[in-house]
Structure formats: structure tokens, C-alpha cells
Amino acid sequence: MNRFYYIDKPLNYSSFDVIRVLKKKLNIKKIGHSWTLDPLATGGLLIATWNYTKLIPYLEKDKKTYEFEISFDWTTDSFDLAEKINFLSEEKQNYFKNNLTKDKIKEILIKNFLGEITQIPPKYSALKINGQRAYKLAREGEKVNIKKRKINIFSIEILNYSYPKLLLKAEVSAWTYIRSIANDLWEILWTWWYITKLRRTKIASLDISKAQNLENFDKENFLEEKDVFKDKEFISLEKDILEKINNWLKVYKKFDFKKNIDLFVFDWEKITNIVSYDWEKLIPKRKI
């Protein structure tokens, strides 16, 4: 069956590990996920099965919310616990403990980490460079050049601060790397830090409270399509029109549909097609 599942990915599992486990539990071959989580991250991972894997591209621009903890007293090349830790001297730790206040951090966050900004993804990331994963090249000692990209931070707030630990919450656009936020903060403050905890708590409108864990996975605990795509327009079509759409034929007819957006054709059981309407004709875009 075409299904969506929302999984609370456990620590030290890669996103592929989750797919591997669910393949066995569901006894299926065609399965995918939207937006990779690193093994050292936990939280929401949206899973699609069978033909719903074709809908993953329509999820990739969704906002996401993360809670993450930063430690100020050391750093690593990967900006997390995955690589060798480099400790800050005791003298510098004492300096920052006495001078790095919550108000100072808040001021820096508001000034530098709100709205549209540019960032460079970590070299220890799953981005592909000339067909190779960046983290693989970095671990082989190869030079990794990753270009800056524009991202958007819609909100960022301090949940707790007690040196050397800082707990933050941020709502960000697609393609945002939380580890890069930590590194950029380091460059501003000239102190060392790395991410000790990273948890994705929300994808679009899907809160982590709706997720299930792998250990007690229930195949009947799937998400409704309209909960996954709350911001999308769902429509129904008459049988003869749907048949033409399934044969990749444009349908010239007046409809009461919104213009030039993705329309999700729903037969009250499943999503069958993606179409668009230009006020003159219905145009097939994808068959699910």
C-alpha cells in the first residue's frame, strides 16, 4: 500500500538504517525518506512507501524545526561528535565563562541568524561533489570545496544557557545545516564549540509527538495524506477526466481550481496524480 510513516529516528542510526529496518518490518522493497538525518541526530524522519516515494520531491521545500545543544569548550572538524575533539584551554574557558552572557548570545543570534543568510554546509556532510559524498572525500583527506548557499532562518531562540552548554531552537528553510550555524557562531565569538545534541522536532506541520519509534513500529499507524500535505490543494476528478489525465492528455475545460499551482488529485483513498490548471486546461504533471 501507498503509505506515509513518521518515525522518531533513534541515536546512532543512519536514515538508511531506518529504511533497512522498515523494509523488513513491512516486507516491501520500494521505500524512501525525505531529508536525511545524521546518525548522531534524532527526531522526525518522514517515510514514504511504494508509489508515494514519487511524492518526496513535493516535501523537500518544507520548513523544519530543530532543538540543538552546543558546547563551548571544544570543537571538531565535523562540528559534532563524529570526529576528533579539540579542547579549549582552561584559561580561555574561564574567560568565556565569565564574559559570554546569555544577552550577548541573544544579540548575536538576532543580528546574524535571522532571515535570509548564506552558509557553507559542513565538509562532513552527505552533499555530493563530483559524484562523491563530501564526508567520504573529507575522511580520505581530499580537499573539499563547498559553495555558499542561501538559506532562511525564520526563528531562533535560546531555550537554556549555562556555560558551556547552550540549548537552542530554530525553525529553518530547506537546505539549512544546523552544524554550520554552530560553526558560524564560533567564527563570530572566537571560541570553540560543537553540537552535542541535535533533534528535529517538526517537519512542516508534523510535530514529533505524532511520530512512532522503530522498536514499537505499527504498520497501521500511518499518516493521512492531507496531514502530510496540509498546505497543498486537494481536488477530485470525474472518472472520464481522470482517465485522460492518466494517459497524459490535457483536458480543456473550465474548472473551479486555483491557477498555476500543484493540485493533488485524491480519490478519497489515495493520491493518484499531480496536475495544474491554467484557467484554460488541466495539465498532467505526475502519475502516482
C-beta atoms surrounding 222 within 10 Å:
18
- Of the candidates 134, 154, 159, the residue with the CA atom closest to the CA atom of residue 145: 134
Q: Residue 101 corresponds to which amino acid?
A: T
For residue 198 the three cell numbers come to 541535535
The CA distance from 236 to 262, in Å, is 13
Distances (CA, A) of 150 to 117, 118, 192, 230, 233: 6, 4, 24, 25, 28
The CA distance from 47 to 279, in Å, is 34
Please list, residue by residue across 190-199, b when 16 or more beta carbons sit within 10 angstroms of its beta carbon and e when fewer do. ebbbbbbbbb
Select which of 38, 62, 80, 184 is catalytic: 38
- Residues whose CB falls within 8 Å of the CB of residue 141, separated by 6 or more in sequence, listed in order: none
The CA distance from 153 to 113, in Å, is 6
Q: Is 38 a catalytic residue?
A: yes
For residue 236 the three cell numbers come to 477530485
Give residue for cell 480519490: 267
The residues pairing with 71 across neighbouring beta strands, listed in sequence order, are 165, 194
For residue 242 the three cell numbers come to 481522470
Degrees, nearest 5: CA angle 41-45-50: 145
3-state secondary structure of 268: coil
Q: What is the dihedral of CA 198, 204, 206, 212, to 10 degrees?
A: -50
Q: Could you list the active site residues?
A: 38
